[in-house]
Every structure is written in structure tokens, then in C-alpha cells.
């Protein structure tokens, strides 16, 4: 499956944008009961997880690996690495929820976790518990850690 034809604009984010927005997310999450650890969704969730780890003073950081993109091609989710348990007490972090395919898989694996993303699009929004900023579904988000010409 390829990039949806309704994608009409690309929004390049800077490191400063991501850092600022992740700190906003941290402020929202700080109001919740403390988490025992963070689960970063690789690869997009690694940078936000590192920032949240510092901001929320959480030292235990794990990863799960679910791949739904190959460049701009969207494909069925592939689970590459999972985490034991039901997610109770854990904060699952990703950079963006787009269609929700990744979080749908992760919610099945870690149903008791709290799911947070820095950015959300309308189709994926119902699958995330906390997010900082919403973008239009038609926006292609280009993160600063991605090679030029690639997107998330």
C-alpha cells in the first residue's frame, strides 16, 4: 500500500519543535499517577521517550518494535519485538499516531498501559490516551531524525 493520495502537504519538524512539544506532553503526563517505566515504540518513539524519561524522572525504559512504514509506503503492522506483561503501570510512547495501526497492535499486546504520542491525526486519535498536538490527516510529518525525503 502506498502513501494515501489525499496527503497534500509535508510538514517538516525541527529538533526544537519536537523537544518543545514533547515537554508539553510531559507536563500533561506529570498530572497522572507515576509510571513504573516507559516503553518506546521504535523507531519514532525513541527520541520522545528519552525526553520524557528526563522530564518525568523515569529511569526504566524498554522498547517494542512495530513497523508500519517503509519510507512513505504504509504496510500491515509487523511486530519485531514485544514486551512481557499486560502493560500495567507502563507509559507507551510514540512520536505520532496516524491511522492507529501501530497502537491498535500495541493495545492488544499491552492493554493496561497508558498510550501517549507527541502528535496525533484524527484517524488514530481514539487509540491514544494523551497527546500534545493534532495535525490534519492529510499532513505528512517529516521528523528531524529522518533522512531528507523520508517521512513518518
Q: Is 116 a domain residue?
A: yes
Specify if 2 maps to a domain: no
Q: Could you give the CA distance from residue 67 to residue 41 in angstroms, rounded to a whole number?
A: 9
For the domain that residue 102 is a member of, what is the CATH number?
3.40.50.2020
pLDDT at residue 3, as a whole number: 47
- Judge contact between 121 and 100, C-beta under 8 A: no
Active site residue 94: yes
The three three-digit cell numbers of residue 85, written as one number: 506483561
Domain enclosing residue 120, as ranges: 9-142
Query: How many domains does the chain contain in total?
Result: 1
Of 17, 70, 98, 129, catalytic? 98
3-state helix, strand, coil in the chain (%, to 5): 25, 35, 40
User: Catalytic pick from 21, 70, 94, 129?
Assistant: 94
Show pLDDT as tens, one digit a residue, over the chain (152 residues): 344 555 579 999 999 999 999 999 999 999 999 999 999 999 899 999 999 999 999 999 999 988 775 555 555 777 777 788 999 999 999 999 999 999 999 999 999 999 999 999 999 999 999 999 999 999 999 999 988 765 54
Would residue 70 show up in a list of annotated catalytic residues for this protein?
A: no
The answer to the question of residue 87 being in a domain is yes
Annotation says 95 is catalytic: yes
Residue 104 is assigned to a structural domain of this protein? yes
In a domain, 151, yes or no: no
- Strand, coil or helix: 119: strand
Residue 37 lies in a domain: yes
Amino acid at each position: 500500500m502506498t502513501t494515501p493520495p489525499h496527503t497534500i502537504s509535508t510538514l517538516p519538524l525541527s529538533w526544537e519543535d519536537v523537544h518543545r512539544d514533547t515537554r508539553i506532553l510531559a507536563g500533561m503526563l506529570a498530572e497522572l499517577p507515576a509510571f513504573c517505566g516507559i516503553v518506546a515504540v521504535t523507531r519514532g518513539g525513541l527520541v520522545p521517550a528519552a525526553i520524557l524519561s528526563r522530564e518525568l524522572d523515569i529511569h526504566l525504559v524498554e522498547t517494542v518494535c512495530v513497523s508500519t512504514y517503509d519510507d512513505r509506503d504504509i504496510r500491515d503492522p509487523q511486530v519485531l519485538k514485544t514486551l512481557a506483561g499486560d502493560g500495567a503501570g507502563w507509559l507507551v510512547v510514540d512520536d505520532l499516531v496516524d491511522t492507529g495501526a501501530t497502537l491498535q497492535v500495541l493495545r492488544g499486546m499491552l492493554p493496561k498501559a497508558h498510550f501517549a504520542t507527541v502528535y496525533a491525526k484524527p484517524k488514530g486519535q481514539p487509540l491514544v490516551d494523551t497527546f500534545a498536538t493534532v495535525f490534519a490527516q492529510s499532513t505528512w510529518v517529516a521528523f528531524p531524525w529522518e533522512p531528507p525525503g523520508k517521512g513518518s
